[in-house]
Amino acid sequence: MTDDVLLVHGGTPISGEIRVRGAKNLVPKAMVAALLGSAPSRLRNVPDIRDVRVVRGLLQLHGVTVHSGEEPGELVMDPSRVERANVADIDAHAGSSRIPILLCGPLLHRLGHAFIPGLGGCDIGGRPVDFHFDVLRKFGATIEKRADGQYLEAPQRLRGCKIRLPYPSVGSTEQVLLTAVLAEGVTELSNAAVEPEIEDLICVLQKMGAIISLDTDRTIRVTGVDRLNGYTHRALPDRLEAASWASAALATGGSVYVRGADQRSMVTFLNTYRKVGGEFEVDDDGIRFWHPGGPLKAIALETDVHPGFQTDWQQPLVVALTQASGLSIVHETVYESRLGFTEALNKMGGHIQLYRECLGGTPCRFGQRNFLHSAVVSGPTKLEAADLVIPDLRGGFSYLIAALAAQGTSRVHGIDLINRGYENFMDKLESLGARVERPNGS
Ligand code: EPU
């Protein structure tokens, strides 16, 4: 389908200014939190991306009225008439997203039951949901698997409990938060994820009246309350999108001012950026990222849970590493299959070798399990245009970066996937001087 293809004429540095809005990995969850309130909630800085549209639709299917607020990017959600949704409608609407699983706790509280269809999301590993269901069972939910999905019931009010996550999973931590706030008694969650988006979700819930404490040892304690209010909240900026544009500036030898980028949530990325040889300057409204000229430096990089180097920063930065002098080592410890996208970079002239061993300093869960989860990137290499098929959200953006950095015209297929998490990326590319076009000229 030509609609889903982009021609990228590479070899020109991108330069200019773009703006990031609320974080893709917070906004949909804050929208789910609105279901827990007894009054309307107002969320600001909401980007126009597919994941937001999916959750908006799911909320509406469950009787929540959702409309735009006074300022651009503001959503007002009124949950006063939450009702059961039609299973087929949920399925049809949600198939492309993993967010529906986070509706479980709020729907169990509001209605006593919930339905979860087969889940989508990016193909970057098995993406199991076992932690989520284990957690929900601990709160007292029953779960029945049927052909079309999972049916959950809360025979009585859910009860607080002690939970230790096998891994600090972001989604499972959110599942616990969204369920524990209205559960009876205290919930203690150890080995929790503490990503900035989770802290922001805690802020949302606290505004609603929840009692949540976060200790330095990854323990979260929630004292359940009987009732929550609505909230008014401005979503934290998208640090993952900001880093994607920063990597694009570096890989193409350009300069991008990312309005809205927030230093506090990007400290680890910024350190790494500087080690590679990228320059940045922080001001009150954003961060300017640029390639200062001269060779970039190879680095050793290990992805990890926060405050480590976020896995979603990895793929875009790897494209820039193909331009660095020497051998860079990348150890992906969060998703077992997040390096498959490098095959296409090799097709374009990159030299990236994958390994099953843990090449970083820390042995990870994937070392003994036959996953190609470490990479050695040797550079600098000249990238040449190619035909590319987008594999997942961040990998897809990385292909755009590679095509922009390459000599010649690349055809990038499947670009619609990028709309899941990058607001108006076509307009942004054009405003940065990228030479991109739809093959039919539309
Ligand atoms: N895991 C399990 N069982 C579970 C849940 C997770 O084994 O029940 C494993 C996963 O397979 C993975 C690890 O735990 O190996 C971490 O997964 P996590 O639960 O933290 O990821 P997630 O909540 O599904 C969110 C983001 C991802 C981001 C990760 C890590 C959203 C919608 N997605 O996923 O974002 O990479 O946290 O920070 O918030 C993206 O933006 O492109 C993206 C994939």
State yes or no: pLDDT of 121 exceeds 70: no
- As a whole number, mean pLDDT of residues 84-107 equals 85
Tell how far the Cα of 231 is from the centroid of ligand 1, in angstroms.
26
Residue with tokens 């269901």: 133
Q: Please report the pLDDT score of residue 93 as a whole number.
A: 82
Distance 153 CA to ligand 1 centre (A): 25
Q: Tell me how far the alpha carbon of residue 23 lies from the centroid of ligand 1, in angstroms.
A: 15
| Higher-scoring residue by pLDDT: 140, 3 | 140
DSSP code, position 321: H
Q: Which of 122, 161, 358, 364 is catalytic?
A: 122
**Considering just the CA atoms, what is the radius of gyration of the chain in Å?**
22
Average pLDDT over the chain, rounded to an integer = 95
Tell whether the model's pLDDT for residue 286 goes beyond 50: yes
Closest-CA residue, ligand 1 atom 44, reads: 122
Residue 122, pLDDT > 70, answer: no
Q: Please say if 122 is a catalytic residue.
A: yes
| pLDDT cut 90: percent of the chain above it | 88
Report helix, strand and coil shares of the chain as percent, to nearest 5: 35, 25, 40
Q: Does 1 score more than 60 pLDDT?
A: no
365 lines ligand 1 (CB under 6 A): no
As given in the structure block, the two tokens for residue 275 are 């080690």
Q: Does 87 score more than 90 pLDDT?
A: no
Domains of the chain: 2-20+237-441 (3.65.10.10), 27-234 (3.65.10.10)
Res. 95 pLDDT band, cuts 50 70 90: low
Distance CA 221, CA 180 (A): 9
Ligand 1 pocket residue status of 108, Cβ below 6 Å: no
pLDDT on residue 149: 83
Name residues whose C-beta falls within 8 Å of residue 442's C-beta, 6 or more positions apart in sequence.
Answer: 3
């060779």: which residue's tokens?
295
- How many C-beta atoms surround the C-beta of residue 2 within 10 A? 11
Between CA 215 and CA 306 the distance in angstroms is 14
Give 379-391 pLDDT, tens digit per residue: 999 999 999 999 9
Average pLDDT over residues 110-124: 77
- Measured in Å, residue 97 CA sits from the centre of ligand 1 at 12
Start-to-end C-alpha separation, the chain: 13
Q: Is the pLDDT of residue 366 over 80?
A: yes
**What pLDDT is recorded for position 360?**
82
Tokens, residue 373: 């989860």
| Closest CA to ligand 1's atom 18 | 169
- Under a CB-based contact definition with an 8 Å cutoff, are residues 129 and 145 in contact? no
Task: Give residue 124's pLDDT.
Answer: 59
Cβ–ligand 1 contact at 422 (below 6 Å): no
Q: What is the sign, positive or negative, of the torsion defined by CA atoms of 160, 132, 93, 205?
A: positive
Q: Which residues pair with 325 in a beta bridge?
A: 297
